[in-house]
Amino acid sequence: MKAESVAIMGGTFDPVHEGHLSLAEQAHEKFGLDRVLFVPCFQSPFKGTSYALAAQRYEMLKIAVEEKGWKWASVSKFEISRPSPSYSWQTAEHFREQNPDAKWHWILGTDQWDQITKWAEPEKLREQLDFLVVTRNGQAVKERPDWNFKSMEFSHPASASAIREDFSAHTEWLSPGVRSYCLDNELYVHGHP
């Protein structure tokens, strides 16, 4: 029996938007993934604070995945229920221990791929994961001997920072349920950078 192929897609998802969702869908199709696991981080070691609470970002992801009706996607509370900061190698180790027979992947952008050797414990990441590197506008992907990676061209105009800055101008980038959740909870409606 073929090993299950699972990709972790981490991020702040502040808020989750159609760009995140179509990226997951395209990776699922292109790389023949059995599952994509959205892992909202409590707080990225590289970013400052997030605007929505971790629990709210988790709820928005759950709403978005349910609305899509995807049986192959799920949302994990692993990082948001741990003390911050959260390190990717710990996340990878956790999921590998839960499902050691699966082939584990990590979806990330070229900006993160370029910095990956500066992440905590890069050797552990290299041993535990295959990387799916998302490129824009035909960017070259940095070669990393001894790392397993594949690349995928992807482009979408949606931007979480643009949504936070001017919510009403970008509601088409949000699924209907996420848009309603934001309005009901007064998230982003007053504008944040």
Map out the domains of the chain with their CATH numbers.
5-184 (3.40.50.620)
Q: How far is CA 58 from the centre of its chain?
A: 12
Considering only residues 87 and 50, tell me which one the structure prediction assigns the higher pLDDT: 87
Q: In which band, very low, low, confident or very high, does the pLDDT at 50 lie, cut at 50, 70 and 90?
A: low
Among the residue ranges 7-11, 67-71, 187-191, the one predicted with the least confidence is 187-191
Q: In which band, very low, low, confident or very high, does the pLDDT at 15 lie, cut at 50, 70 and 90?
A: very high
For position 49, what pLDDT does the model report? 58
Residue 47: how many CB atoms within 10 A of its CB?
A: 12
What is the pTM for the complete model shown?
A: 0.93
Question: If DSSP codes are grouped into helix, strand and coil, which group holds residue 164?
Answer: helix
Between CA 107 and CA 41, with CA 155 as vertex, the angle to 5 degrees is 35
Integer Cα distance of 168 and 173 in angstroms: 10
Does residue 19 carry a pLDDT above 60?
yes
Task: Provide the mean pLDDT of the chain.
Answer: 93
- Beta strands per DSSP E along 70-161: 73-75, 103-109, 130-135, 149-153
Q: In which band, very low, low, confident or very high, does the pLDDT at 86 lie, cut at 50, 70 and 90?
A: confident
Distances (CA, A) of 131 to 22, 83, 92, 166, 183: 18, 25, 12, 33, 36
Does residue 184 carry a pLDDT above 90?
yes
For position 38, what pLDDT does the model report? 98
